[in-house]
């Protein structure tokens, strides 16, 4: 299947936007990536996404029904953040005469790679809290290897909420290595499985920013950084997630500061594009940690 509105030249910036492509269950390839997507509780398909001159090609590992094909397309569009108003950001760069950011935006920078569901993004965000990047990668890999569903290409899906609940807190600690995060993941899975937060498993039902922020703040284990990080992945770029690394970069973190309490007014004049401006400023200065 082919999808329009993106080219090979703009696929790379999306995959270089942050570290998500390097977390299981994603598999980065020379031309794009492979990703196992859940179609239902018992069914999954791995898609291979590659960039072409004026479109992207999405190849499933098996034949799909028309309904399944539409669902895969919707998921891939979401993962590539194709709903991000890049033209409006370009206009904002022109208004502010931000030439380095304008140049990058015209190359396709600004969109972020994300998971098929906010549930997966929430799980991965939880794995980034108080953890070095290799440990985050290990937790995500273990979740998929131990609790995920197998698909072609040797990839396994991120477990569903019911998979997490079936495993239980002891297995999450012992076999996955989630540590204290296990309690937070169990409570998150309970919310998702109950249907009380329907947008966790259905991105088409995403709430407004204020509603989402209020909900995420109530979750165990999601402090200010984790809340804002997930909000950015939901498309609300007016937030700036500040962890240890970002705080150091902005010069607002001093020895002994707790990451959960960090805040800043940097880039506030960019409004709804606050995070976008911050991120592309780093890319322009060759400070983006990947994709340089």
| 227: nearest Cα among 194, 191, 260, 250 | 260
Maximum mean pLDDT: which of 3-17, 30-44, 160-174, 238-252 = 160-174
In this prediction, residue 242 carries a pLDDT of 82
pLDDT tens digit sequence for 84-143: 999 999 999 999 999 999 999 999 899 999 999 999 999 999 999 999 999 999 999 999
Q: For residues 249 and 106, give the distance between their C-alpha atoms in angstroms, rounded to a whole number.
A: 25
* H or E stretch covering 38: strand 32-38
Which H helix or E strand runs over 57?
A: strand 56-60
Q: Look up the pTM and report it.
A: 0.91
Indicate the DSSP class of residue 220: T
Q: Is 169's pLDDT higher than 90?
A: yes
Q: What is the pLDDT of residue 153?
A: 77
Q: Determine what percent of the chain is predicted with pLDDT higher than 70.
A: 87
The CATH class, in words, for 118-284 is mainly alpha
The answer to whether 44 and 38 have CB atoms below 8 angstroms apart is yes
| Token pair listed for 272 | 């709804």
253 vs 261: CA distance, rounded Å: 10
Q: What are the extents of the domains in the chain?
A: 2-82, 118-284
pLDDT of amino acid 170? 97
């Amino acid at each position: 299947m082919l999808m329009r509105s993106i080219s090979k030249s703009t696929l790379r910036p999306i995959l270089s936007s942050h570290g998500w492509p390097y977390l299981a269950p994603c598999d980065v390839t020379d031309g794009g990536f492979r990703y196992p997507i859940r179609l239902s509780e018992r069914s999954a398909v791995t898609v291979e996404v590659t960039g072409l001159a004026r479109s992207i090609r999405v190849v499933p590992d098996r034949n799909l029904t028309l309904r399944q094909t539409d669902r895969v397309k919707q998921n891939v569009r979401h993962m590539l953040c194709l709903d991000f108003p890049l033209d409006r950001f370009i206009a904002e760069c022109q208004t502010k005469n931000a030439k380095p950011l304008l140049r990058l935006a015209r190359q396709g920078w600004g969109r972020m790679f994300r998971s098929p569901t906010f549930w997966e993004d929430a799980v991965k965000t939880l794995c980034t809290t108080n953890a070095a990047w290799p440990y985050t990668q290990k937790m995500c890999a273990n979740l998929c290897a131990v609790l995920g569903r197998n698909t072609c290409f040797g990839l396994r899906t991120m477990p569903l909420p019911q998979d997490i609940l079936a495993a239980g807190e002891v297995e999450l600690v012992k076999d996955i290595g989630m540590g204290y995060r296990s309690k937070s993941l169990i409570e998150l899975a309970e919310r998702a499985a109950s249907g009380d937060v329907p947008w966790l498993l259905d991105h088409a039902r995403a709430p407004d920013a204020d509603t989402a922020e209020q909900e995420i703040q109530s979750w165990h284990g999601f402090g200010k950084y984790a809340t804002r990080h997930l909000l950015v992945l939901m498309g609300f770029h007016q937030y700036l997630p500040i962890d240890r690394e970002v705080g150091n970069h902005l010069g607002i973190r001093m020895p002994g500061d707790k990451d959960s309490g960090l805040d800043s007014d940097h880039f506030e004049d960019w409004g709804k594009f606050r995070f976008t401006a911050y991120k592309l400023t780093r890319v322009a200065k060759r400070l983006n940690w990947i994709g340089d």
